[in-house]
Amino acid sequence: METLRSPAASLRKFRRFCAAHVVSGLSAISRIPSASERNAAFWLYLKFVSRLFTAPFLPTGRISKEKVVGAELAVLDYGTFLTLLSEIFFRRIYYFESESPSPLILDAGSNIGMSILFFKHLYPRCRVVGFEPDPQTFEVLKSNIRQNRWDHVEVFNKALHSTDGEIAFYTEANRAGSGKMSTVRERFGNSPAPFLRCQTVEAVQLSRFIVEEVDLLKMDIEGSERAVMKELSDANKLRFIKQIVLEYHHHLNPLEDRLSEVLRILEENGFGYQISSGATAPLAPYTIQPILIYAYRRH
C-alpha cells in the first residue's frame, strides 16, 4: 500500500540532507570549468533540492520520470535518485580521463542507469557493461536504456560475487530501487524482518566478463566489493583494468575492520590509490562508513 511520510519526518530529512550535502554540492558545482555547464548544474541543483523537499509528501512505490542533462529517466525510489544525482553529476565521483574516445566501462551496480547516463555524457561513444541484480530495478534500467537510445550498452540482471550460483539478495520491502539493496544482510543493521524482503538472484564472477583492456571499473555493490576484488585478483584479471572507482562499505559488520584487505589487493596488483570519505566529526565507533577509493595503474 502506498504511504505518506509525515511532514515532521520530511522536514527532518530535508534538514539532514542540507547539513550533509548542500555546501559540498555547491562547492562541487563552483569547480566545474565550463561556465555554461556550471550554470546548468546550478539550476538543476535547485530543482534537486526542491524535489527533495516535496518528494517525501508524495506516495511511495510508483514510477515517476525526471529529465537530467537531456535524458529522461524513470525513477523508482526518489531518495536514491536524488542521492545518485548529487554524487554522480554534482560531485562527479565517477569522473575519469581516457585517451580513447570510446572507453570500455564496467558498471557494477547500475541501479536505474544514472551512472551510465554520466558516462554517456562524458564519453558519448563509450561502451558500458552493467550489472544490476534486483529484477524490478533491472526492468527500469532496461527501459531507461531504450528510452534514451544509449548505444553500446549491455546490462545483466545478475549480482557480482566470488562464485557463480544463486545468492540471497536483500531489499527494503517498500523501497524498490533503493540504493541500500545488498547481498549482505548487515547492510540493513537491526531492521526487523517485516521491513526486509529476501529473494534469490543469480550471482556471477566479474572476471568472466573481462576479456580485453578495461578503461574503468566502477563498483558500488553495497558490501560485496571485497569478495569481487579478491576474485578478480585470484583470476589475474586486475591487470586488464586501468582505473577503478570503488565504494567500500566499512563496518557493515561493526566488529570487522577489513579495509586493509582491499588496499592490499590494489597494492599487490600495481595500483596507486586515493581515498575519500564523507564522514563528518565527531566520528563514532562501529558505525557504517562509505569510503570512496579511486585506484589507478602505476606507470
Strand, coil or helix: 264? helix
* pLDDT at residue 20, rounded to an integer: 56
Mean pLDDT of 94-115: 96
Please report the pLDDT score of residue 269 as a whole number: 97
Domain boundaries, given as residue ranges, for the chain? 1-77, 94-297
Distance in Å from the first CA to the final CA of the chain: 55
pLDDT at residue 190 in the model? 67
Return the pLDDT at 5: 44
pLDDT at 11: 52
Q: Is the pLDDT of residue 39 over 70?
A: yes
Query: Does pLDDT of 120 surpass 50?
Result: yes
Percent of the chain with pLDDT over 90: 53
- 226 vs 62 pLDDT, higher one: 226
Over the range 80-99, which residues count as b (16 or more CB within 10 Å of their CB) and which as e?
bbbbbbbbbbbbbbbebebe
Banded pLDDT at 192 (limits 50, 70, 90): low
Q: Which of 45-54, 238-247, 261-270 has the lowest mean pLDDT?
A: 45-54
Q: Which residues pair with 25 in a beta bridge?
A: none
Residue 191 pLDDT grade (very low, low, confident, very high; cuts 50, 70, 90): low
Share of the chain above pLDDT 70, in %: 84
pLDDT confidence of residue 218:
98
Which CATH superfamily includes the segment(s) 94-297?
Vaccinia Virus protein VP39 (3.40.50.150)
Pairing outcome for strands 127-131 and 104-108: parallel
Mean per-residue pLDDT for 27-55? 72
Q: Which residue has the higher pLDDT, 21 or 163?
A: 163
214 vs 283 pLDDT, higher one:
214
Structure confidence at residue 57 (pLDDT): 56
Q: CA-CA distance, 139 to 12, in Å (whole number)?
A: 32
Nearest to 72 by CA among 133, 143, 137: 143
36-51 average pLDDT score: 74
For 40-44, 63-67, 95-99, which range has the lowest pLDDT when averaged over its residues?
40-44
Strand locations in the chain (E): 64-68, 71-75, 104-108, 127-131, 153-156, 159-160, 165-172, 196-204, 214-219, 241-250, 271-277, 289-297
Question: Which residue type occupies 5?
Answer: R
Query: Does residue 284 have a pLDDT over 80?
Result: yes
- Interatomic CA distance for residues 176 and 138, integer angstroms: 11
